[in-house]
Amino acid sequence: MKNRSDIEVMASILRSATNGWEYKTSMMNTAAISHSQLIRYLAVGIEKGLIEYSDTTGLYRTTESGVFYLRKYEQMVSMLPSVPEILDLEKEHDSPNSRDHVYSSVS
């Protein structure tokens, strides 16, 4: 699995608990992270009001603020090109017919 940014990992954790109260184990498996990572991110999520913890049940769920975070995250991701699109742009730039290539060989 590729390395993910903190923003991506937090989104995975929040997504794992959007349908109700969840155990840590379930969240770890769904978000594909280790226990130590989950503990760190849960602490931040609770502090920032993105995740709620129930003392009674020991379960976690995503708050309304966490759902807002997910919506904004998804909007941001949808605006970015995918990796294959980026690779296609690089190929176009490196092609011999590229105007940049012609200008760079003249100088």
Q: Is residue 45 over pLDDT 50?
A: yes
**Furthest-apart CA pair in the chain: how many Å?**
73
Give the tens place of pLDDT for each residue, 56-98.
999 999 999 999 999 999 998 888 776 665 556 666 666 665 5
Percent of the chain clearing pLDDT 70 (strictly above): 73
d(CA 105, CA 107): 6
Q: Can you give the pLDDT at residue 71?
A: 95
Residue positions counted in the chain? 107
Rounded to 10 degrees, what is the CA torsion of 20, 40, 67, 69?
-170
pTM to 2 decimal places: 0.73
Strand, coil or helix: 53: strand
Q: What pLDDT sits at residue 13?
A: 97
The predicted pLDDT at position 107 comes to 46
